[in-house]
Amino acid sequence: MAEANPTFSASTVSTHAKGPLGNNMLSTVEAILDPAALILSLWLVSTSIEGGVPPPYMILALIVFSITFPGTSRLQSSVMGLVIDTLYSWFWVVLLLLFLGVATGYMDEFSSEALITWLWVAPLSQIGTHLALRASAPFLLMLQGPPQRAIIVGMNDQGAALASR
């Protein structure tokens, strides 16, 4: 069996980026959606209750981004699956944040009213943004341009398996 010439291998011309953001707009939006929804909801709650975004809330936003990036793709889930998955993920994020807050003694820096409000506003904002993404996904895909095509040359086992995908 002939070996592939690495100079003209498909891997050298592949445009798929490695990492959480991929190489298309939809996967980038999916990766940023959860952290952005959580951080913006935190800032909204902080601004409405505290009158601004004090430094402890900025640090909390950084921690939340670190925990939740990259976000989860939930485009293929049912609406009920989306709600359950979001609430389940939010439960574990809250548990981790609570543990970090108690362990560091940092909980006293926050208004209890703001934290309790954020506990229910954050998952609602996540669910809302995911539903909005579902509605706008066809438009985002259209902005990316036409789908890329691949030409498969050769009729061996690997080529047949690739063509059948």
Residue 1 lies in a domain: no
Residue 95 lies in a domain: yes
Q: pLDDT 10s digit of each residue in the chain, 165 long? A: 455 444 433 333 334 445 555 567 767 778 888 899 999 999 999 899 888 888 888 888 899 999 988 877 777 778 888 889 889 988 999 999 889 888 888 888 888 888 899 899 999 999 998 888 888 777 767 777 777 776 766 677 877 777 777
**SS3 for the chain, per residue?**
CCCCCHHHCHHHCCCCCCCCCCCCHHHHHHHHHHHHHHHHHHHHHHHHHHCCCCHHHHHHHHHHHHHHCCCCCCCCCCHHHHHHHHHHHHHHHHHHHHHHHHHHCCHHHCCHHHHHHHHHHHHHHHHHHHHHHHHHHHHHHHHCCCCCCCCCCCCCHHHHHHHCC
Domain that holds residue 97: 22-163
Residue 3 lies in a domain: no
